[in-house]
Amino acid sequence: MTNLRPTRRLSLAIATLIGFTMSDSPLPAANYDEAEVPRYELPDPLTMQNGTRVKSAKDWVEKRRPEVLELFRKHVYGRSPERPSGLKFKVIQNDTTALGGQAVRREVLITFARNEATPEATLLIYLPKDTDGPVPAFLTINFVGNHTLHTDPGISISRSWVRNNKDWGIDNNRADERSRGSRRSRWAVEKILKRGYALATIYYGDIDPDYDDGFANGIHRLYPKPKPDEWGSISAWAWGMSRCLDYLETDRDINAKKVAVMGHSRLGKTSLWAGAQDERFAMVISNDSGCGGAALSRREFGETVKRINTSFPHWFCDNFTQYNDRINDLPVDQHLLIALVAPRPVYIASATGDPWADPKGEFLSGYHAAPVYELFGLKGVGVAKQPKADHPVGHHIGYHLRTGKHDVTDFDWEQYLNFADRHLK
Ligand code: GTR
């Protein structure tokens, strides 16, 4: 508290008072004032927990990286299991005349069998045609079902639990034809294909439905109830993305050594955690991922750790709640999550109309991860200040602040494609 400025103290006091009188709103109002960001010190990427300096890429790879990864597993996202032995893939459709003959549409049924239970997920893949050899790919995870990516009538409608949405005629937590193509603006399918990349996507609800049910559904039900340092839903979704990559490694039309993992918002947190853990991902993209994603937690700007753990108790591991009111004791902050991707390229995108996700905090994570890239002789974002809107920057750590709201747009995809052209081609 001593670090806080008077106005912040006042708003906290009011909020606490309201909290006492209205038991359902115990959280302080979110801070959107840069002047009210508390003073903080970030854990140094190049200092081990025991105080030893990290002097080389070798020290990072052999000592500090495993330590940081373990800290994120134990305190933030929770550890997830190995690939299940009963994992199976089955190509259920392969249409070489999709999108007016421009693309191949492939669907793969993934079965996560373990003991008696066999949850299934459908991976949708669009491949460009007339290519010479296997193509690089974007592997993404989506919010409302694969069939919402495009109006293409050949995409199977998701059969898993889905959040109700009046605009798209989703009631009873089941999707139907009315939601086909409803999220089309977020997925530049044709643009991606034209640039020579495949687009693979999975519906997150196929892996773990996004509600707090005590881990009784999705792939969580295959495993015992998690301990305090074991996976929440973000870890489960990230685990699912690694299982998709397991399939992509078997697909001869895809260059699995050139797969970029991408997600938006809670699924941007997911893509970062997937890419941080699974070094087979060649590139990692976080779109407006915010708190628990790219944004620095210690800034407490917009969404805070306390708030996210309160609103979404199933996303992180239980240990994370210990830091709700003492974020400075957490041995990591999110710049270290970005650093875990090194030396692979990572892209962080923010939007001007998305203060909840703390765009500046997202930039700063990238900025403070640079010392790790430098150990490998690589440059990070390459600028000391957050760039103006719509001016992408960066070398091995890419960054832009797009004008507009919390969303994924063609502008975002244009930057991801340019970044991928630079690093994957
Ligand atoms: C919000 C949540 C954010 C972000 C977002 C989303 O409600 O507070 O952390 O993940 O949802 O996923 O759209």
Residues 293 and 373 in one domain: yes
DSSP E strands in 265-365: the ranges are: 283-287, 346-353
Distance of CA 12 to the CA centre of its chain: 30
Residues 249, 353: one domain? Answer: no
What is the pTM (predicted TM-score) of this model? Answer: 0.94
Q: Does 268 map to a domain?
A: no
| Atom 13 of ligand 1, residue of closest alpha carbon | 265
With beta carbons less than 8 A apart as the criterion, state whether 180 and 406 touch: no
Residue 420 located in a structural domain: no
Q: Are 325 and 295 in the same domain?
A: yes
Pocket test for ligand 1, best of 143, 233, 237, 266 (most atoms within 8 A of CB): 266
Residues β-bridged to residue 165 = 170
Q: Is residue 265 part of a domain?
A: no
Pair 248, 354 in one domain: no
Q: Ligand 1 atom closest to Cα of 303?
A: 8
Q: Is residue 326 part of a domain?
A: yes
Residues 64 and 85 both lie in one domain? no
CA of 80 to the centre of ligand 1 (A): 22
Do 111 and 219 lie in one domain? The reply is yes
**387 within 8 A of 394, measured Cβ to Cβ:** no
In this structure, are 203 and 349 located in the same domain? no
For residue 134, report the phi and psi dihedrals to the nearest 5 degrees: -60, 145
Pocket residues: Cβ below 6 A from ligand 1: 265-266, 290-291, 303, 308
Q: Which of 11, 156, 395, 406 is catalytic?
A: 406
Q: Whose CA is nearest to atom 10 of ligand 1?
A: 266
pLDDT of 305 reads 98
Distance 128 CA to ligand 1 centre (A): 32
pLDDT of residue 116: 67
Rounded CA gap, 235 and 77, in Å?
6
Please name the residue that has the structure tokens 């052999």.
62
Both 253 and 402 in a single domain?
A: no
d(CA 268, CA 10): 34
CA of 134 to the centre of ligand 1 (A): 35
Tokens of 350: 């923010």
Let me know if 225 is exposed, middle or buried by CB neighbors in 10 A (0-12, 13-18, 19+). exposed
Catalytic residue among 80, 160, 265, 297: 265
Gap between the Cα atoms of 66 and 339, Å rounded = 12
Number of separate domains in the chain: 2
If asked whether residues 343 and 402 sit together in one domain, one would say yes
**Which parts of 1-158 fold into alpha helices (H)?**
6-21, 57-59, 65-72, 98-101
For residues 55 and 180, state if they share a domain: no
Q: Structural domain of residue 196, as residue ranges?
A: 81-228+240-257
Q: Please confirm, yes or no, whether 406 is among the known catalytic residues.
A: yes
Ligand 1 center to residue 193 CA distance, Å? 29
Sites in the chain below the pLDDT cut of 70: 1-25, 115-117
Answer yes or no: is 281 within a domain: no
415 within domain boundaries = no
Distance 114 CA to ligand 1 centre (A): 31
Enter the tokens of residue 394. 């960066």
pLDDT of the residue at 28: 85
Q: Does residue 417 sit within a domain?
A: no
Q: Is residue 280 part of a domain?
A: no
127 and 43 in a common domain: no
Is residue 64 within 8 A of residue 43, CB to CB? The reply is no
In this structure, the answer to whether residues 58 and 96 fall within a common structural domain is no
25 is catalytic: no
